Structure 1
């Protein structure tokens, strides 16, 4: 049944718009805000189920807008790890406490962003070979995306030190998460999360997703690269704080 309470729409519509703006122009840094906002008026599991088709809608428009700008080689390097992460999330769905994962990601995200904003250099070198680092961070991104639509921070941690052109960065993340979200539809349906009630609610909210995406793209092309990265780090801190706040349910 589609929610009738006006309060739901006062909260859900801004959540969808913020998600679209973030995914369209700012590497998805605030897209995970949608779940805690909607959880104010419904169970978290239902909010996640409703948001998945909406994320897929936003990804479709983002994919079309950035179809010529993404790094194909890098995307192919990232996808195997993401698929493994989604598979692990599916197998652990009934046993995994997402709050511990949120706490770890929140701390990691804030420390990384503060380190970058402090001006200290981060080397792109590691004891791990490149393919293993890509697999680790993309796998963690796939897992956290499946559990809480919170796959942005792990992928940002891997990609930001590369100092990619901002359009290529956003385009690559857009294609990565569009692939991840469409793959997630299969286990979400198998686990019974995509019932007619949730799908109907998602259909009502879906038109606001492309509106947000195109607004994000408009802002993306009007902000210089240095400011773009500064805003991305601020978004990463905010999402880290949000994850830590959510993990407070542990205590």
Structure 2
């Protein structure tokens, strides 16, 4: 079959894509790392990443329009170049690692992000950290690598961005625009690696209507709804998928 027809795939992919789109709208951005781990329960990680990338680029069109011009210019001058360098390094890894190894690495990244979220929540809010070219470049490059491997770029970037304590709208805009630029850059290595076949493109097309719905819902929620419950849902979903991927990559 050219189109993926497995009901389990859609049972996992539909809510994951919708939650990812909500995160792209600026609400609880950590949801952006959910789509690939959810799809990878059924598919090889590179295939899940290719399907997700088309959807992410579609989400970015709405997200970029909503948050355009509201980002922190000083931070963007550091994290965009760092992220692009990371995409190049991530593409080299993606082309050389086996799908099983990529699954295991994604599981480790996912569980690391869950641990970081739980740790940062328990420790409370520290004083705002200063702008740092070195830390920003390192974290954004790491974000570019993990984003290229499995669109899991949020954890490394947030290690730098969360302590900066930027205004909420500025923080959301900086994140949305950064990952929007990085996702379009990733189209080049994904295409060169042959990941955009008809099966992946048609499956992305089926899921595409969820993108604008989720983005606009995220924009609406960002201004009206507390994020605590949403974060809990995302964290528990990431924990389950991360454990599954570690099992598939390193144990099974």
Give the Å deviation of 1:166: 1.6
Partner of 2:250: 250
Q: What pairs up with 1:138-153 in 2 under 5 angstroms? A: 138-153=140-155
**Contact map agreement 1:105 1:240 (CA 8 A) in 2:** no
Structure 1 residue aligned with 2:122, among 107, 118, 121?
118
User: How much is the aligned-residue C-alpha RMSD, in angstroms?
Assistant: 2.6
**Contact map agreement 1:27 1:173 (CA 8 A) in 2:** no
Give the Å deviation of 1:75: 1.4
Partner of 1:19: 20
Give the Å deviation of 1:106: 4.2
Partner of 1:79: 80
Give the Å deviation of 1:197: 2.4
Structure 1 residue aligned with 2:186, among 184, 187, 190?
184
User: Separation in 2 of the partners of 1:244 and 1:132?
Assistant: 32
Partner of 1:2: 3
**Contact map agreement 2:44 2:103 (CA 8 A) in 1:** no
User: Separation in 2 of the partners of 1:40 and 1:107?
Assistant: 15
In terms of mean alpha carbon deviation, does 191-200 or 27-36 score higher?
27-36
In terms of mean alpha carbon deviation, does 195-204 or 78-87 score higher?
195-204
User: Separation in 2 of the partners of 1:43 and 1:240?
Assistant: 17
Partner of 1:58: 59
User: Separation in 2 of the partners of 1:239 and 1:139?
Assistant: 26
Give the Å deviation of 1:113: 2.7
Matched, 1:93 2:94: yes
Structure 2 residue aligned with 1:105, among 100, 105, 109?
109
Change (3 A) 1:231 1:38: same
Change (3 A) 1:117 1:8: closer
Change (3 A) 1:57 1:244: same
Partner of 1:37: 38
User: Separation in 1 of the partners of 2:114 and 2:68?
Assistant: 31
User: Separation in 2 of the partners of 1:111 and 1:34?
Assistant: 19
Change (3 A) 1:105 1:94: same
User: Separation in 2 of the partners of 1:163 and 1:18?
Assistant: 24
Change (3 A) 1:141 1:54: same
**Contact map agreement 1:35 1:44 (CA 8 A) in 2:** yes
Q: What pairs up with 1:149-164 in 2 under 5 angstroms? A: 149-164=151-166
In terms of mean alpha carbon deviation, does 155-164 or 183-192 score higher?
155-164
Give the Å deviation of 1:85: 0.9
Unaligned runs of 5+ in 1: none
User: Separation in 1 of the partners of 2:34 and 2:52?
Assistant: 11
**Contact map agreement 2:34 2:238 (CA 8 A) in 1:** no
Give the Å deviation of 1:4: 3.6
